[in-house]
A = this chain, B = another copy of it.
Amino acid sequence: MTGFPRKHFLEISIISYYAVVKRKTKTALVKLDIRAVAERARVSIATVSRTVNGIPSVGPDLAKRVWKAIEELDYYPNTQARGLVSGRSRLLGLVISEITNPFFPELIQGFEEIAVENGYEILIGSTNYDPKRMNLVIRRMLERKVEGVAVMTFGIEEPLLQQLAERRIPLTLIDFDLPSPLVSTLRVDYGAGIGQAVHHLAALGHRQITFISGSATLHSARARVDAFKIAAKEARFSPKDARIVEANHTIEGGMLAFERLQARGELATAIMCSNDMTAIGVLRSAFSIGLRVPRDLSIIGFDDIRFAQFTTPPLTTVQMSRVDLARTAFFALRDHGEIPLKATTPREYTIPTKLVVRQSTDVPRDSLKRN
């Protein structure tokens, strides 16, 4: 009987918005608010409120009466009223690029889970890579008085966020710095996973690797390219042997990039992709011209979306945990929000990445090791 402060109410039975109550000889439809509970429990509404919020100062007998009344009436509090008076909405915003990109549903799932566990609800907004939509999305969230926003899009619009940050609302960004007290950033350690990938390929005997990047306009795509460059250099690939071409993080983009490479006779023995969708496109195009993966061509993806396990062959890829991302984003937001304006919370979190070796990589096609 300790109350469910802001948690989801009444776990057992479904609740009626209206309760049927006998009054005199007539049956009337009565609004089911805190007052109704108070009357029935013969206490003040303040006591009901305290009970519901688990404030310890309520005497055990009264509390029992209140809970009894609550159950009998199937009462549950009105979130809007709670939010209005307390100034807290228990709402968090999650901004993503587009929900049909398989990367995001897994992120959303993780975020929703942890948020709901903690009594928050989430509002999702997709930008579809359009800065104007980003603007609108954020406005919607502001109107709903979200207590924090996680901007998990691939491309981030500096000026927009700048304004958001000035609005005194906690913000969590991915791969993007914004020096402001309520902003924290999740820094993905691209270097780790991409480094492993390059070394994996080098160890296999590959002397040339082509990296198919995402759009250079996207922050996170550039970060991956940079990580690749560094890794390639460390592994002593010359720039010529570590060519970089640009695609757009879609299957079609991957197909196109591959076909262009192939048409120009520039096919390396190994291709690394900036994300799994691109890799899937490459896989598909390679297959359609009769190349066998990994015998004729090694392919590595990035993200480790669930589907990567089910390509043919299963895709070797760099894993970045969406669940980590989601949980970290949530706690970053919450920690900046719960103790408002207390500016001691860390501003930066690192998200690890690591190579997952499956079956799309092998020794190069002309390798002596094969003989």
Complex: A6 Cα to B144 Cα, angstroms: 12
Are B15 and A139 neighbours in the complex by a CB distance under 8 Å? Answer: yes
Q: A9-B139, A306-B100 are in contact. Are A145 and B105 (CB under 8 A)?
A: no
A277 to B106, CA, bound (A): 17
Is the CB–CB distance between A136 and B100 below 8 Å?
no
Complex contacts, A220 vs chain B, CB 8 Å: none
Q: Is A163 an interface residue (CB 8 A)?
A: yes
3 nearest CB pairs, A to B? A14-B163, A80-B83, A99-B105
From B84, B100, B124, A124 is in contact (CB under 8 Å) with: B124
Name 29 interchain pairs, CB-CB below 8 A, sorted by A. Answer: A8-B140, A8-B143, A9-B143, A10-B139, A11-B139, A14-B135, A14-B138, A14-B163, A15-B142, A15-B167, A16-B166, A16-B167, A17-B168, A76-B143, A77-B143, A78-B143, A78-B145, A79-B144, A80-B84, A99-B108, A100-B105, A100-B109, A102-B105, A112-B124, A116-B136, A121-B123, A122-B124, A251-B310, A281-B310
A-side residues, CB < 8 A to B, are 8-11, 14-18, 76-81, 83-84, 89, 98-100, 102, 104-106, 108-109, 112, 116, 121-124, 126, 135-136, 138-140, 142-145, 160, 163-164, 166-169, 251, 280-281, 284, 287-288, 306-307, 310, 312
Q: How far is the CB of A121 from the nearest CB of chain B, in Å?
A: 6
* A166, closest chain B residue (CB): B16
Taken together as a complex, chains A and B put the C-alpha atoms of A116 and B89 apart, in Å, by: 20
Cβ–Cβ < 8 Å partners of A143 in chain B: 8-9, 76-79
Copies in the complex: 2
B109-A79 in contact (CB<8A): no
- The docked-state distance in angstroms from the alpha carbon of A166 to that of B29 is 13
- Interface residue from B9, B16, B84, B109 paired with A126 (Cβ < 8 Å): B109
Alpha-carbon distance A80/B104, docked complex (angstroms): 29
A87 to chain B, nearest CB (A): 9
With a CB–CB cut-off of 8 A, which chain B residues contact A15?
139, 142, 167
Given contacts A9-B143, A143-B76, contact A310 B84 (CB under 8 A): no
A147, B169: Cα distance in complex, Å: 27
Question: Are B14 and A136 in touch, CB under 8 angstroms?
Answer: no
What's the Cα separation between A239 and B160 when bound, in Å? 62
Q: Which residues of B contact A108 (CB under 8 A)?
A: 99, 124
Chain B residues whose C-beta falls within 8 Å of the C-beta of A18 in the assembled complex = 168
A163: nearest chain-B partner, CB-CB: B14
The reply to whether A145 and B80 contact each other, CB–CB distance below 8 Å, is yes
Residue of chain B at shortest CB distance from A123: B121
- Give A164 Cβ to nearest chain B Cβ, in Å: 7
Known: A14-B163, A81-B84, A251-B310. 15 other contacts (CB 8 A): A10-B139, A14-B138, A14-B139, A15-B139, A17-B142, A17-B169, A76-B142, A79-B145, A80-B84, A99-B105, A100-B106, A100-B109, A105-B105, A284-B310, A284-B312
How distant is the Cα of A288 from the Cα of B313 in the complex, in angstroms?
9
Alpha-carbon distance between A56 and B319 when the two chains are bound, in angstroms:
57
